[in-house]
A and B are shown apart, each in its own frame.
Chain A
Amino acid sequence: MSLATLSIDGPLARLTINRPEQRNALSLELLTALHVRVDELTAMTTPSPERTSAGPHVLALTGAGKAFCAGMDLKAVLGSAERSRRLLMLLAELTYKLRRLPMVVVAVVNGPAIGGGCGLVTVCDLQLTFTDNKMGFPEVDMGVCPAVVAPWLVRRIGPGRARQVLLSGGLMSGAEAHRLGMVTECVPTITDLAPAAEALLAQLAAGSADALRATKGLLNTLDGSEDWNTLEDAAKLSADVLNTPETQAMLTKKLGA
């Protein structure tokens, strides 16, 4: 079974992060699998003479099992500067590709979304979660710099709140994430999540693909989402911080590697 599963039902596509035994932590292999799926979606939605329909225009992104995505699998790249650089660059590239998909991307945050996992939530167009979920960016607590997620968080909640969230570290509840504007909808309990998500996905699927695509394209142009250079620099910065002896020592201790 693939680490990232994709299903298509007319206008609606569903992408599931599928590494539940590791709480969907982003390893090199998982990120690579997600890239493969997102590239498939990009191909489906790119106009071509051969294809008459323009492909799905809504994407639901969720996690298998109890977590949405517990973050970057740092344990797997400890001690290798090259692997950690590759991991962060793969994350940066994935966020960029997701943002540029001509589809409304909805994060159905079924469980904890932490660090890079929360970054994936932030880059989506709309997000739903539940009150008691756990989300956030605890990177600074781990000696890591959340550089790749930062531009997306600023675009989502504004620079003032992003500053507060990223410098504070720690985790917050789904309710607090909603209050800050990190998620667009928050339901009372986990059992309310699927019905609410399906209602939103149905509304989006019934909308005009052309109108939604044109709107998303314009939003991306005006809010800086097309800027790859900043993300690339962020990935390099994050890797540099990750590879300092101080951070490596802290992570080795925290992750019990």
Chain B
Amino acid sequence: MSDHSQSMGEGELVRLVRQGPLALLALNRPDKRNALTPEMLERLLTLLEAPEVLEARVIVLCGEGGVFCSGFDMRLVHADSRALSKLLTGLTGVVRAMRACPRPIVAAAHGAAVAGGCAVLAGADVVVTDRAAKLGYPVTRLGISPAVTVPGLLGMMSAGGARERTLDSGLISGEEAARTGLAHVCCDQPEDVIPKATRLAQHLAEKPGSAVAAMKGLLARLGSGPEDFELALRASLGLVGSGDQLARVAALWPMPGGERSGPQATS
């Protein structure tokens, strides 16, 4: 980070770094590929409404380490029966707060933005990724429905695109994401993504804040409303704790002495 930055919460799982007119919100769990816990989502929600963030002109959402975000912490989901509901509820809360936030948000989705990590992109105004990044929702194989993300996706792409992304559990490249509206800007290399996102954010920061906030507010009103977000969340929550869902998540971890089986979030 630059000399002009003020950093708060070095040890925290979501760091806030002020950098001139920008507020950088950085997922800070790189050894776990920024896998999301309920606490991280709560922290993000708090930060999105915090005075020190709202005083900035533009927010940049990014991730430390090799990838933006590999999704929910599945080890936690397996260990704690309440975790999945908290994560789904926390996720929709964060996306709604991002859309309601009067400051424009640039997401720097480098390397991978998968499952819950892909869902948060729907709250951003501009999504930057890289050509070879991996994006998508490989979750139905875990008995989890990505319904929760649909209202957000409908704000980014056609209904057909949202249908494809949530029913087909394959991952797509950053290049394909930019082609279909899941991302807006595609860099050649993952290391270019955060610098590019920061430059875009600086550019946005020069525009009159009230005009940007008004436009953002109108776009939110034209898009999916609270009822749609609540319906989508309930659709996903409805499957939590079912025999099928529990068995499929458990299958990610081998029996003692067995081969590790089940899907990996990213390659």
Contact = CB atoms under 8 A, between A and B. Distances in A.
Contacts of B180: 181
A181 B150 CA distance: 18
Interface stretch (A71-79, A167-175, A201-209): A201-209
Interface stretch (B2-10, B122-130, B164-172): B164-172
A215 B164 contact: no
A217 interface: yes
A212 B166 CA distance: 9
Interface in B139-192: 139-147, 150-151, 154, 158-164, 166-170, 180
Contacts of A221: 231
Contacts of A208: 140-144, 239, 244-245, 248
B91 to A, nearest CB: 15
A238 to B, nearest CB: 22
B81 interface: no
A206 B251 CA distance: 13
Interface in A126-184: 126, 155-158, 161, 181, 184
Given A208-B143, A210-B244, A215 B166 contact: yes
Contacts of A210: 143, 145, 239, 242, 244-245
Given A215-B147, A218-B235, A126 B158 contact: no
B170 A104 contact: no
Given A181-B161, A208-B143, A104 B167 contact: yes
A257 interface: no
A126 B150 contact: no
B239 A211 contact: yes
Contact of B143 (A157, A184, A211): A211
Contacts, number: 113
Given A181-B161, A222-B154, A214 B238 contact: yes
A241 to B, nearest CB: 26
B235 A214 contact: yes
A219 interface: yes
B231 A200 contact: no
Report which residue of A155, A204, A206, A214 has the largest number of chain B beta carbons within 10 angstroms of its beta carbon. Answer: A214
Contact of A155 (B146, B160, B168): B160
A207 B151 CA distance: 22
B19 interface: no
A233 interface: no
A206 B141 contact: yes
Report which residue of B151, B168, B245 has the largest number of chain A beta carbons within 10 angstroms of its beta carbon. Answer: B168
A219 B143 CA distance: 17
B140 A211 contact: yes
Given A157-B160, A210-B143, A222 B239 contact: no
Given A218-B231, A218-B232, A222-B232, A207 B160 contact: no
B224 interface: yes
A223 B143 CA distance: 23
By Cβ-Cβ distance, the 5 closest A-B pairs, closest first, are A156-B160, A223-B159, A218-B147, A158-B158, A211-B140
Interface of B: 139-147, 150-151, 154, 158-164, 166-170, 180, 224, 228, 231-232, 235-236, 238-239, 242, 244-245, 248
14 contacts: A125-B164, A125-B167, A126-B163, A158-B160, A181-B180, A203-B168, A204-B167, A208-B140, A208-B141, A208-B245, A211-B144, A215-B140, A222-B228, A223-B159
